[in-house]
Every structure is written in C-alpha cells, then in structure tokens.
Structure 1
Amino acid sequence: MVVFLKLGNFFFTIQSRRLEKLSPFSVLNRFCHFAPKPQENVAIFWDLDNKPPDPFPPYAAAIKLKATASSFGFVQHMIAYANRHSFSYVPPVVRERRKERKLLNQLENKGVIKPVEPYLCRVCGRKFYNNEKLVNHFKQLHEREHMKRLNQIESARGSRRVKLVGKYSMKMEKYKNAARDVLTPKVGYGLADELKRAGFWVQTVSDKPQAADVALKKHMVDMMDQRGAQCFVLVSDDSDFVDVLNEAKLRCLKTVVVGNVNDGTLKRIADAGFSWKEIMMKKAKKEAVSVVGKWKDRDVLKRLEWTYDPQIERNVYRSDDEDEDLLTEGSVEGVHDGCMQEDNSSSWWEIDSDSDIIMSQRCK
C-alpha cells in the first residue's frame, strides 16, 4: 500500500512539472493575484431634437457612437430623448434615396432596365427580378404570417404565451431583419426602431418647447446624484446644457460633447469634443486614447498635490508649542532648581570638595 502511494506521488510531481513547463506563468498564478482595475462607467445622453444623426444612418451612427464612448470606460447607460416630430422627420438624403428607388421601380416595370443580380427574399430565399414583386410578395406572405404570430402571442396567457414567444422568437427576428431592407417605414425613416436596435433607451416627450431638454437635464442630474456614471457623453449643440456640464465638472466628473459646432459653448466647457464626421470616420476613437491619458495624468497630480488646511496646521503647531513648554517647565523646576539649591548650600569661599564634584556630575 505504501509503495502504491509513493508511486502515485511520484507520477503527480512529474505531471505537475510538465504542466509548469508548458505554461511558465502557472507558478506565478498560484501565488499572485492580478486584480484588474475597474473601468469607469460611461453614460450617453442624446438630444435627438437638437442633434439627429443626419445625414448618416441611425443604426450605424449609434453603433459608432457607442464604440467611441467605450474608449472612455464601460458604457452602462444609453439614453435618447425626443418629441414625436423628430421621429416622423425624414432627412433630405433619405428622401432622395426613396425618389431614386421609385424611379428604378418604374423603369423595371416597363422593362427598360434589369438588375444585375436578382432581389433575394431574406425570409424564404425566393429570387425576384423586380423590386415591386419582392415587396408585394413580402407583404402578402411574410407580413401576414408575422401579424398572425403577434395575434397568437397577445391572445395567449401564462405558460402558453411563454412557449409561443420561445417558438416564434427566431422567425420574428428573421422577419424584422428582412423588413428593414424591404419595407419603407410608415412614419419617418425608422429612427426610434434603429436606435432601440443599437441598444438605446428611447423616450418620447410632449410637443412643448424645450421638453426634451428639460427631461434630459433632469435625467443627467439624477444620474449624478446616484453616482451611476463617472463620464458623461452629451450629444447636443444646445447651449442650455451649460449648467449641467458645469455641475458635472464641480462634482469631478468627466464630460465629452458630440456636436457639429466646432467652437461651441459646450465643447469649450467639456473635457473633450467631437463631431459626427469624426465619430463615423473612427477618428474620435483614436483621439480618445490621448484624452484618457490626460485624465490619468490629472488624477495622479491631484493625488500628489499639497493642500493647505489652516485648521490642521494650527492644531499641529499648538501641540508642538505645548510639548516645548512642558519640557522647559520640567527642566527648570526639577533639575536646575535642585542644582541651584545644592550649590547654594555651601559658602562661596569654601573650596570644592569631592562631594561637590559628585553633585555637579549629577546635575549634568
């Protein structure tokens, strides 16, 4: 039995040495624990009334904005506010594209032009050489099926509803992805849906003037009070947000502004500023590295800088003066007085004897 135990320990040591040779950092991992530094939370606040993603596609602009904000830390919150007019607005670029598509459909119906590659239905895989036929096929077949699934889910309750959602989830997602390219949005150009698809929390406010600004400011201040983020990214050119940015700087929070005004008031107050063009060309993401480096240097200097507090300094000097007074009082009363008394005990004309020498040494 002892022999088997010894053999087992021997093979175990050989195996462990082999593993150490294969991974040289395995020994360090046993004794060292490298705790990564926690990233700062980033919150994106988007004023859609003032700064829509014009002329860029909403989904692509939202994804690039998130990628740029992630250079400053972990993107925890993405919030957008606007009224209903902002969601129904169609930019001129999108209008021109729709006009071109309508003209191409007319030429295809007359047989003047033919597409180089057939139009593919991304739900069932059928091919069409006419875009209008693809749209009619999508509406008559796939849109009806989608509406039937939605009606079944809405009418179901309890566990049956959960099963239907799990059953139709893949098909419904496939339909939504295909519908973005085939069907034209009935209202606007799909701004709200595209931002939601990118992960933004989109909120519609009333049509009152400055309603989106008021709601956005309140949300930002609440986030500051809760310490939900250490870096705020504001997408706006509206100078009404000056007070909010100043409040963030007073609380030692980092601020970034995205807007097209190069020398705007917000960009002068914020720590960094970018334009939509820099966001879409990924230039802002590269410049964010140097901005983060400056922030780190500033934090290090704040830790090293000397601060003068008069109350603390006064207390320190008081304690030092009291200690000196105690020492001087104790030395005069206890030692020097005794020496003076002992010296006065003998007359001045008498010669120093051995006892006097001993007493002087004691005094020393």
Structure 2
Amino acid sequence: MFGFIKLCTNDRRIPKAFRMIRHCHFNAGRNIVAVFWDLDNKPPKSVSPFDAAIRLRKAAESFGDVRFKIAYANQRSFDYVPPKIKEHRRDRKKLDQLENKGVVKPVDPYICRVCGRKFYNNEKLINHFKQIHEREHVKRVSQIESARGSQRVKLVGKYSMKMEKYTNAARDILTPKVGYGLGDELKRAGYWVSTVSNKPQAADVALRNHVVDMMDKRQMDCLILVSDDSDFVEVLKEAKLRCLKTVVVGDCDEGALKRVSDASYSWQEVIMGKAKKEAVSVVGRWKDRDILKRLEWTYNYERERRLYGSFSEDDDSDVSNFVNREDDGNKMDGSRAWWKLESDSDAASA
C-alpha cells in the first residue's frame, strides 16, 4: 500500500487530478504553517544557525504542515559575527601559530574531506584545500555556467556529487569572508532568505507586507513569528481577526507579542524540544475551539425570512397575521398537551 502511494507521488504519468485527490486525502485537517523569522531582532546565538533552523522547523512541524519558511534581515545582520564565534576564531589562530612553530602537535591528524589526505598542521590543510580543491570547484562552476541546453544538464548531473562534497568540506575548513555564514546555513536548512537594505525598519516592513499578502491570499492557517519586536503586534491582531492560529518564539517573557498570540515559547524551549512536546496540547485546544465555533448559533436573515415571511413593527396587519398563524397552530394542537409528543397522543388514542 505504501509503495503504491509513493509511486503515485513520484510518477508524473499519474493524472494531475488524481495526485490532487491523494494530496487532499492524506493532508486533510492539517494546518498550513508559515514560519517568519526576523533575523535583525532574533538571530541565533546559543547554537549554530543550521542547528537553530532545523530545531525551529521541527517545532513548527508539530503545529501542522510547514510549507513556508521565510527569514528577513538587512546586510548588517549577515555581516555580524557573534562574540562566541570571534573568540573561537582567535583561539584557532593562536593554535595555528603554535603548530607552525612546532610547539604543539595535534593528537589526531586533520583530514581533507574531499581527497582524504592527512595533515598535522591546520594551515597546510587550508593551503592544500585552496590550491587544489577550490580551483577545481571554480573550473566546474565556470563550465556549467558557460554550457547551454542539454549540455548544461549533463554537466550538472556529472558534477553534482563532487560539488556537494566540496561544499560540505569547505563549510568546516574555510572561514567565511563575510560574517559567519548565517544566510548560507539557513538556506541549507531549507529557508527562503531575503536581504533588504540597511535602512531602519526595512526588514520589518518587508516581513509585515509579506505576512499580510499571504493572509490576503489565504495561503496559511497558522503563523509562527520569530521575533520580540512589538511592531508586529498589529500583524498578529490582524491574523487573529482572520481566524489564524498564532505562535511567537522570543525571549521576552512579558513581551507584547506573547500577550497577543495563542501560544509563545522562548528560544531555549525550542532548542530543548519543549515547544515540540507542548504543541500537541496547543493543537488540541485549537481543534476544540474550532468545534465550538461551528456549534455557535448565528442569525440568518434570509433563512428566517423564507420560513416566516417578512413583516415590520409598523405593519400591524402583518404582525396580527403572524400571530393568528401561531394561534391557528395552537388550536389545531389543542387536543393534546404541549408537552406530549405526537407519537404519545397517537398511542393513547389507539
């Protein structure tokens, strides 16, 4: 059965209508979740950007089907290097100097993750990687960019594994020239990262407009906002007016955003997995609330008009006719008490 479902998902020959029915069937009742991350206000600090993004995604998946993962920041946020990263780089530089002088020798050798060569000096490993593997990578990229059509497709398929291997190795060996790789790490985790101008509030305005646009298009059922910026209070209020579920991730315990949202968590709770565990009870409350809303009585003017006709308080004849109709009905049912059912009276007469 599961093999058949997988076949239906991947086989392009299956009619599009059938694939849509399959998608609706297996995702029915799931909230469509959109994650919006204000990187200017809430950059990852305690863990690496990639780990923070993955943990945030796992927590968001507990609230529904995560289809949108969006991050906004200006260029300064991507150029910024946290103090912990700076300290680590200073320690690494001092250790490299000691290795060059022969004062310190590593217990385990440094291994090139592309070719497997071993080095007992970190700077030699870096020079080897730049002189050989980085040059090869630049040549492969230039070949792909210069090719066209089917030739380009063949080159991409030919070099895909080598390029991925180089990218993974370069992430650990080469130091990012700008910042500490925040944008690249979030993209690697599957986030759509947008860089805006360095003008004040530029990222906030772009993020707010994007959220409102998605609400207008009804592309989400649950909004997860990663920020402590009180400027987004009106956005959350608008989302609640449109019956969207709202979740806030921030570190301000008494923040304005947390007071408006349906649920709120700190970064520490997301990292430790507490948000993922508590999401089950939150989703349960949302389901109960939706059921109660469907059970609420609402006045339908058109329906009442069809059933009882139209009359106004100024029209005495209409009111009297309506009352007479009720009196006639009471006279017709005068043979039995009001609290007796029709079946009871029939049984008594029989």
TM-score range, shorter chain: 0.7 to 0.9
Offset of residue 112 of structure 1: 2.1
Once the 2 structures are TM-superposed, how far is the Cα of residue 311 of structure 1 from its aligned partner?
7.7
- Once the two structures are superposed, residues 25-71 of structure 1 have per-residue CA deviations (whole angstroms, 9 ceiling, x without a partner) of xxxxxxxxx97633111001111111111232100000000000000
**Residue in 1 that maps onto 2:33:** 42
Q: Which position in structure 2 is the counterpart of 1:75? A: 66
When residues 251 and 129 of structure 1 are mapped into structure 2, their CA distance, relative to the original with a 3 A threshold, is same
The answer to whether 1:66 aligns with 2:66 is: no
Q: In the alignment, which residue of structure 1 is the partner of 2:83?
A: 92
Q: Which moved more, 1:287-296 or 1:58-67?
A: 287-296
- 1:128 aligned to which of 119, 129, 134: 119
**Where do residues 152-301 of structure 1 align in structure 2 (5 Å cutoff)?**
152-301=143-292
Contact kept in structure 2, 1:232 and 1:255, CA below 8 Å: yes
SS in 1 for 2:225: strand
Unpaired stretches in structure 2, ≥5 consecutive residues: 1-24, 311-318, 332-350
Does the aligned pair in 2 maintain the 1:242–1:265 contact within 8 Å?
yes
Q: Tell me the equivalent position of 1:325.
A: 324
Q: Report the AA paired with residue 204 of structure 2.
A: D
Q: Per the alignment, in what secondary structure is the counterpart of residue 199 of structure 2? A: coil
Q: 1:327 to 1:141 in 2, by over 3 A?
A: closer
- Relative to structure 1, is the Cα distance of residues 146 and 68 closer, same or farther in structure 2, using a 3 angstrom cutoff? same
Q: Name the counterpart of 2:11.
A: none
Report sequence identity in percent: 68
Q: Aligned equivalents of 2:124 and 2:328: distance in 1?
A: 108
The equivalent residue for 1:358 is none
Query: 40-49 vs 312-321, which deviates more?
Result: 312-321
Q: Distance in 1 between matches of 2:209 and 2:197?
A: 15
Which amino acid is the alignment partner of residue 325 of structure 1? N
Change (3 A) 1:271 1:328: closer
Distance 1:46 1:321 in 2: 64
Inter-CA distance 324–48: structure 2 relative to 1 (3 Å threshold) = same
Q: Secondary structure at the match of 1:179?
A: helix
Is 1:141 matched with 2:132? yes
Map of 1:303-322 to 2, 5 A cutoff? 303-308=294-299, 322=321
> 1:111 — aligned with what?
102
Partner residue of 1:350? none
SS of equivalent to 2:70? strand
Distance 1:130 1:316, change over 3 A: same
SS at match of 1:184: coil
Question: Cα gap change, 1:35/1:93 in structure 2, threshold over 3 Å: closer, same or farther?
Answer: closer
| Aligned amino acid, residue 268 of structure 1 | R
Q: CA deviation at 1:306?
A: 3.1
C-alpha distance in structure 1 between counterparts of 2:179 and 2:320, whole Å: 78
Mapping for residues 20-59 of structure 1, pairs under 5 Å: 37-59=28-50
Q: Distance in 1 between matches of 2:26 and 2:66?
A: 21
CA deviation string 1:88-123 (max 9, x = no partner): 000001111111111111122222222221111110
Between Structure 1 and Structure 2, whose CA radius of gyration is higher?
A: 1
Distance 1:85 1:327, change over 3 A: closer
SS of 2:106 mapped into structure 1: coil
Q: Name the residue aligned to 1:102.
A: 93
Distance in 2 of aligned mates of 1:91 and 1:190:
11
Instruction: Say if 1:274 and 1:326 are closer, same or farther in 2 by CA, change over 3 A.
Output: closer
Q: Is the Cα–Cα contact under 8 Å of residues 55 and 91 in structure 1 kept in the other structure?
A: no
2: distance between equivalents of 1:327 and 1:181? Answer: 84
Summarize deviations over 1:293-352 as a string: whole Å, max 9, x none.
Answer: 11111112212233456786677565897466358789x9xxxxxxxxxxxxxxxxxxxx
Q: State the alpha-carbon separation in 2 of the partners of residues 219 and 147 from structure 1.
A: 36
Q: TM-score, normalised by structure 2?
A: 0.80
Q: TM-score, normalised by structure 1?
A: 0.77
- The one-letter amino acid paired with 1:78 is K
Runs of 4 or more off by more than 4 Å in structure 1? 308-324, 326-330
Q: Quick one: distance in 1 between partners of 2:26 and 2:174?
A: 50
Q: 1: CA distance between counterparts of 2:37 and 2:171?
A: 23
Q: Indicate the RMSD between aligned Cα atoms, in angstroms.
A: 2.5
> Aligned in 2, Cα 1:241/1:326: closer, same or farther, shift over 3 Å?
closer
Match of 2:340 in 1: none
Question: Relative to 1, partners in 2 of residues 1:181 and 1:306: Cα closer, same or farther, differing over 3 Å?
Answer: same
1:130, distance to aligned residue in structure 2 (A): 1.2
Q: Which residue is equivalent to 1:4?
A: none
Q: What is the alpha-carbon distance in structure 2 between the residues aligned to residue 80 and residue 36 of structure 1?
A: 25
